[in-house]
Each structure stands twice: as structure tokens, then as C-alpha cells.
A and B are shown apart, each in its own frame.
Chain A
């Protein structure tokens, strides 16, 4: 058959593996492997330990796709590896001295009166603007992370975009500047409380109040969306109810992005509860204005029931619920809420954004009609909720998913059984389905489902 004698030795195998054998020997050794299972096994164990083979099978088998490293380039910002020990000194903002003894100090031209609040993102100060002679609020990005050039730039960018949104229901931004490297926003000083504080009060919101606030929020979002600004973090804490008047203000437009940087800097995990996030946000998918609509739905749910639709102690569980679970029916928690209001909230809380209202504008129109109906129930009839066209096709998607499930399960069972019958060479790759596999199956199906819906 072949003339070249092949010796079964470790060093030959080693050299073969490294491609260091002469071509002819290389070829004949390959042929030799056909027959010699001893060399097969030695070759395998020289290439990698048995554990490594098993791990490779397990880890790579767990995924259907390898990560695409080419599309992802990281630019490590080396300029920020400056001497870290100096950074502690900047954890507190050092104010410039003020000539006015009643003031805490000065930031730029502004005389600082008092600290209004501290949030995840920074400090809010009450200040006096001597040039225009008015009281203002300064929101300063926490200097701890103002040191990240990326966060700083993002702050400035988002603030500029948000400043372009001019609407009665959006907190105006007078200016953006920085002080000792810490950027800050200049805003009007508005006395009032947050919607969260209102929700936490004992007396529940009445339906007309509920609708009124919801409508204002929808109109505020509409104005922002028209400017291409997505809020990303609509929640009761970011909604201000001024003391005088019934106007509602949405604050912190687009700053969620910056705040997220901040919390990551501090902890490396998503801080706080993501209770008002949309499913696409929870999944890390791209956002569009309808994500804000989902969050608004959560806010309306919370106004009606006192708590957000998806809650749990663990942020991770909340994220899972947002993506996978339906909330408890609103009227089960508060039976005083009319059915049609529940229907609006449910539509906003649709997992698939195609099934929500098309826009804040459409939602606003619908709420206006509801308010008109509430005022004159006999004259104005209740507006009908339009069913999105796509809804019907979901039945088919369900049927197809079920069929796929059957196929996938059979494949798994088949493969598992098959594995047990592997020849001796491969017996170490024995593999039983366990929880990870089932989880994977579930994920696979979810993804199939999503693909289908696209």
C-alpha cells in the first residue's frame, strides 16, 4: 500500500501536529491515522487535554454563533489612566468663595444657595443668577465620573439635544457649562414634588388626574420625539409636579445614558431598579420613541396602582419579567379603574413595540378623546382603541413556533441518544441535556419567535 513506514512515536505526532514533517511523511501519517487508533488518541491528547476537548464541545456547542470581533473595536482611553490617587480629592465639589456670607459659595457666576438634592448622577443646587436676577437650579454631573471624557462628552451632547426641546411639559434647560472639569446644567428653579412622591401618598390619584397627567406626559414626549430626542428613562422620579398650577414637567431628557455611565463607574452593575425600562431596553436592543411609550405605560400603571407593573428585589429578575411576563391585570389591583384605561395601559405595555401606540401623538389624541368622554359621557362617546394590523398574524407565529418547538425537542432527544452510541474515540464527549440546555432551548425559541415577527 504505502511505502513509507510510519513509527508510532510521540515525537512524530508532535512534529506532525506542528506541520514540521516533510510533505510526504505528512501525507502518509495522515493515512496512517486512518488505521491506527492509538495514534489518533495520542494526537488528540497531545493537541489538548481531554478536559479541554469536553470544554470546547460544551462551550462552543452552547452557542450557535461566534462573537463577531471584527465589528467591535475598543479604544481604550489611555489618557484616563492618569494618577488615580488624585481623584478622591474631587469627590466633593469645591466651590469658589462667595462675597455674600449667606451663600455657600460660587460656581462660575452663580451664587450657590443650598443643596436641593443628590441623585445617582450628581448634585442639584439652588443658586442665584446675578446677571438675570433670578433663582435657578444647577445640576452638576458627579465629579467622580466627570473625569471620564466619554461620560463628559455624552453629558454635553445629550444636554444640547435636550435643550432644543421647548415644550410646556418639558423642563427647560437654560445652559450647559462646566466648573473645574465637572459639567453642569442650568435650569429653572421649580418648587414642587416628584410624581413618585405623589404616588407614595396615601390617597390614590383619581381617574381625571390620571388622564390629565398622562396626557401632559404624552404631549411632552411628542415634542421631544419630534426633535429626535428619546428620554430613555421615563419614571415617576423624573416627573415633576410643580407646586403652583397643574402643569407636569418631564426632567432629565436623554440623561439616562449619562447616569448609566455613572452607576457603572461606581459599581459595574446596573444600579437601582430598571422597573420602567422597555423590553427592547432590557434586552439591550436598539431604542426608538416607542420605548418611551412603554415606560409611560409603566408610569400610568404605577399611578393607578401605586407600584410599577414589573417589580422584584433583584434588578435581573425585573429585567426578565419585563421581557417575558405579563403584568398582573391592573383592575385586579385597583378595581376603580375603568376597563378602557386598563386597555390603554395594556396597549402601551405591549412587548412588541409594533403593537403599542404608533407615537406619543397618537396616544395624546386618544387620551384627549377619553377626557372629553369623561367630561360629557352622554355627548361624547368613548374612542375605540385601534387594533394594530399585525396582531392577527401573531396567531400564525404562535403555531409556527409550536411546530419548531416540537422539531427542536425531537432533535435534542435524537442527538442525546445518538451521543450515547458514539464510538470509543468520542465517548468522552458524552453529554446530557441539563438546565443549561433547556434554558438554551428556550432562548433559541424566543429568538426564533423574534425573527419570525420581524
Chain B
């Protein structure tokens, strides 16, 4: 058996340090997304943990197949695609009669496209978890009242006037606050899921 591959040596296969950074940022968020999605689909926490581990391993295993020379595939974009397929397939695969071995299963996880009928629903669930995880991640970066401006007007859909009055701020600062939050949210969401580019 080959010697266990460490995280370091795995990451060294990414020649561009920006790719390594992208990977770290990605994993930091992605694991929570996988976990949340699994739990929301009715899995028990311990099982969701294991699924997360599986999906992460399958994605990290795929790093070895990334061709940095291929100009068409930017790492981040490529990674997002692999990761989406991995989670969709983990969520949709039915148990099979034959015992699937490790590498075969992982290849399937990586490469198979989820069945059409379910993919739309999964797409939505995934996107939703990405937003939730990203929002949770960035919340602490803002002052509570800045966050409140965003949350009350955008999420709860209350009018800027009411919220401004309630928080004792002017309308302009409410506009500003919510735009700053959403701009940051967009940044983090795009680390995981860049719509359109995929």
C-alpha cells in the first residue's frame, strides 16, 4: 500500500500558491455546506460527519487530477464543479447490490452527473446551504447594528425607513450597511459557487 499522503504533499501538487489558498478557503466553507445539507436531508449527525469526510476525501483526491497547464480550467472553477458533482452524487446515489470498492466509488462520486430529475432540487438545496454557511461565516465581521440593517431590510424585507428609525440611523447608513454586507456575502458565496461560470 502506498504511504499515506499528507495534506501538505497533496497541496504541493497545486503549483500556484493562490490555488492552495483557494483550496483552504474552499474547504473551510464547503465542509459545512456538505454537513448541513446531509443533516437537512434527515441524516443523523454522526452519519453526516462521515458523509462530509467522504465527500471531502473524494474532492481532495481529485486534486491529483487537476492539470494546472490546462489554461481553460482555472483551479477554483474546476474545484467547484468537482465539488458539486461529489455532493450531488453522494446525496442521490442509491445503495447498490454489489459492494463498491473504494476507488470505484470515489470515481463515481467525482465524475458521475446526478440524475436530471433530482439535480434541480439539489441545485437549489446546495445554493441555499452555501448562502447560509457564507452568511454565518461573515456575520462576525460586522458590527451588530450593521448586520441588523442588512438582516432586517433584506432578509426580513422591512422597509428602510422603519429599520432606520428603529436603529436610530439615517437611511443612507442603512443603505450603506446592507450593501457592504451583501457585497461581502457575494464574495464568500462565490468562493464556493460561481453561477454562470460553471
* Distance A260 CA – B2 CA, assembled complex (angstroms): 27
Contacts of A72 in B (CB 8 A): 32, 35
Q: Which residues of B contact A423 (CB under 8 A)?
A: 159
How long is the Cα–Cα vector from A390 to B103 in the complex, in angstroms?
53
**A91 in contact with B99 given A66-B139, A150-B53 (CB within 8 Å):** yes
Q: Across the A-B interface, give the 8 residue pairs with the lowest CB-CB distance, nearest first.
A: A87-B102, A83-B2, A268-B90, A33-B172, A84-B103, A66-B136, A59-B131, A271-B95
Known: A30-B172, A47-B182, A82-B5. A88 touches B103 (CB 8 A): yes
Per the 8 Å Cβ criterion, residues 53-77 of B in contact with A are 53-57, 60-61
Other-chain residue from B27, B106, B136, B176 in contact with A69 (beta carbon distance below 8 A): B136
Which residues of B4-62 are within 8 A (CB) of A? 4-7, 10, 27, 31-32, 35-36, 39, 41-57, 60-61
Q: In angstroms, how far is the closest chain B Cβ from the Cβ of A233?
A: 12
Chain A residues closer than 8 Å to B6, beta-carbon distance:
78-79
The verdict on A100 contacting chain B, using a C-beta distance below 8 Å, is no
Min CB gap B82→A, angstroms: 15
Interface members, chain A 34-74 (any B CB < 8 Å): 34, 40, 43-44, 46-48, 52-53, 55-57, 59-63, 66-69, 72, 74
Please name all residues of chain B whose beta carbon is closer than 8 Å to the beta carbon of A46 when the two chains form the complex: 179, 183
Please tell me if A261 contacts chain B, counting CB pairs below 8 Å: yes
- The answer to whether A43 touches B159, judged by C-beta atoms less than 8 angstroms apart, is no
Decide if B173 touches A30 in the complex (CB within 8 Å).
yes
**Among A147, A261, A283, residue most surrounded by chain B Cβ atoms (within 10 Å):** A261
- Return the contact of A43 from the options B2, B131, B179 (Cβ within 8 A): B179
In the complex, A31→B170 CA distance in Å?
8
Tell me the nearest residue of chain B to A75, going by C-beta: B53
Collect the chain B residues with CB atoms within 8 Å of residue A178's CB: none
Supplied contacts A88-B103, A260-B50, 5 more A-B pairs, CB within 8 Å: A31-B170, A69-B136, A80-B4, A82-B2, A91-B99
Complex Cα–Cα for A281 and B45 (A):
10
B81 in the interface, Cβ–Cβ < 8 Å?
no
Q: Which residues of A contact B170 (CB under 8 A)?
A: 30-31, 34
Given contacts A78-B6, A87-B102, A263 and B155 within 8 Å (CB-CB): no
Say which residue of A76, A147, A269, A319 sits within 8 Å of B91 (CB atoms). Answer: A269
Q: Nearest residue in A to B105 (C-beta to C-beta)? A: A266
Are A267 and B94 also in contact (CB < 8 A) when A57-B155, A82-B5, A284-B45 are?
Answer: yes
Q: Which of A53, A83, A271, A284 contacts B154 (CB 8 A)?
A: A53
A260-302 at interface with B (beta carbon < 8 Å): 260-261, 263-272, 281-284
Q: Is the CB of B95 within 8 A of A269?
A: yes
Enumerate chain A residues within 8 angstroms of B117, measured Cβ to Cβ. Answer: none
Residues B131 and A56 in contact, CB atoms below 8 Å apart: yes
Closest to B155 in A: A60
A81, B61: Cβ atoms under 8 Å?
yes
Residues of A with C-beta under 8 A to B57? 76-77, 80-81
Restricting to A11-41, which residues have a CB under 8 Å from any CB of B?
16-17, 19, 29-34, 40
- Cβ of A331 within 8 Å of any chain B Cβ, yes or no, is no
Selected from B31, B43, B128, B175, the residue in CB contact (under 8 A) with A74 is B31
Determine the chain A residues whose CB is within 8 A of the CB of B49 once the complex forms.
Answer: 74
Say yes or no: B136 contacts A74, CB within 8 Å: no
Q: A7 on the interface (CB 8 Å rule)?
A: no
**How far is A86 from B3 in the complex, measured between Cα atoms in Å?**
11
Chosen A-B contacts, 26 in total, with CB atoms closer than 8 Å, are A17-B179, A30-B172, A30-B173, A32-B172, A34-B172, A43-B179, A44-B175, A44-B179, A52-B182, A56-B155, A59-B132, A61-B156, A76-B53, A76-B60, A77-B53, A78-B10, A81-B60, A82-B2, A82-B4, A268-B51, A268-B92, A272-B95, A419-B157, A426-B153, A429-B157, A431-B157
A55 touching B135, Cβ below 8 Å = no
Is the C-beta of B148 less than 8 angstroms from some C-beta in chain A? no
Which chain B residues border A52 with CB–CB below 8 Å? 182, 186, 189
Q: Which B residues are in CB contact (< 8 Å) with A56?
A: 131, 154-155, 182, 185
CB-based contact B106/A282 at 8 Å: no
CB neighbours (8 Å) of A265 from chain B are 50, 54, 105
Select one of A67, A260, A431 contacting B36, CB under 8 A: A67
Considering only residues 121-138 of chain B, those with a C-beta below 8 Å from chain A are 127-128, 131-133, 135-137
Taken together as a complex, chains A and B put the C-alpha atoms of A265 and B55 apart, in Å, by: 10
Least Cβ–Cβ distance between B3 and chain A, in angstroms: 7
Q: Does A257 contact B (CB under 8 A)?
A: yes
Task: Note all chain B residues with C-beta closer than 8 A to A271.
Answer: 95
Question: Nearest CB to that of B176 among chain A residues?
Answer: A30
Interface residues of A in 137-195 (CB under 8 A from B): 142, 144, 147-148, 150-151
A141 to chain B, nearest CB (A): 12
Q: In the bound complex, how far is the Cα of B53 from the Cα of A82, in angstroms?
A: 14
Our pick among A78, A84, A150 for the contact of B50 (Cβ within 8 Å) is A150
- B2, A86: Cβ atoms under 8 Å? yes
